[in-house]
Structure 1
């Protein structure tokens, strides 16, 4: 069973600040980390490797320093890693990114000498954009089924199918699909393992192949800023909310507190 996991290096959103004048993200001095939801996706793949002997390949798109997260994934137990890096793909929105990664998935399969991957795993979203669009767009570009928000995954390798406990706002639904299939992971799926010391030392010595836009045969009209229909006009921090009003209940007199609340709401013309 061949599994590919898409991972992304993202800025630590706890450290990100917004320039109040330019309304742009200040990235200087902000550390980059392994996207947390992608770690859940990788852990799911590694559990299938442990239990069913799957081969796990990592794929990322980004600048050369994105190799840091690929090496972290190798240290956790992945078998191979590839990086799509090219100035031509810089500034790609989610549509262009989904297209680029789908092209890269096909190229990596070709390099591995396989027709296609049985399972592609992605985090449900990246914490820097929070769109939850790239995984499903990769599936659309590849023309394969997708199952999003996986909270549990059961794989029947013999039947070449998966059964997924799919999270939604009202609970869960069970969805089945045949290989090949793309699945996006939520944090409830598992608890990602830590890289081992031995794995980290070995990963530091690994050469990670780089792929260019030309290597993956990407149509240049569909990538980068020029190939991205989404334009971000500005980014801003929402105004901080003022402290709310707390109406105490004195001497278990609930009605007095209700009367006070109604007066306040009426005065504000909310009711």
Structure 2
């Protein structure tokens, strides 16, 4: 009888991995081998008591139990541990100068109205006016015609429309725009506010126990796509936000921090068809050619 058939503290991972060597799904087996080795190594390093391991089991149980069609606590856990950002970084490696990805977040919705370039996505008019503009270009700086810009954001007090269906109009602060031959985009909105991720569940209790905050810095969301180019899912962060280095989900990248400027200029505001005073941010999205090209 091979000694590896018998479980010991020393060979625990090897014994478990030996049981999956005949798996039909080789990728699954490879993933589980890495997972088992690291998990067993962590347990050996931590040496949890029975009570501590039971608490860990109940944490995982509670994380699953709070999930439903409107809330995904597992994604939230992945986010606050930095795993969502790591998986995103691995899958969106791009050349220097190209716009970087960051997390999609849980508040994107489908069937958003297409809006006329220059129009406002703020349907309730609440908040400090913002004029957002820029270009969609390739890595050589050439404008991309027909790029689709799907944008959404939180309100002036830190809530998305689908969080406040009785307060905000449906599709408030959401819109889809399409660039012309010059690759430019411009639209009106309001300056977004920082907000807290849910803290009433097991992930919130975990953050509390670690003395970590649950706040995301203010940002504008974007999905930018064009035929022949890789789709970019990203944010533009507000440069004066106090939580830039404390993002609960590690989504901030230095290249994604926009320069939000405050203006008090009645004449210029009138030309932009925006109330005065107002904020502006100009940011170019740089897309890379898709690998199929």
* TM > 0.5: no
If each structure's strand is expressed as a fraction of its own residues, which one has the higher value?
Answer: 1
Bigger relative contact order (CA 8 A; separation at least 6): 1
Q: Provide TM-score, normalisation by structure 1.
A: 0.24
Q: Provide TM-score, normalisation by structure 2.
A: 0.22
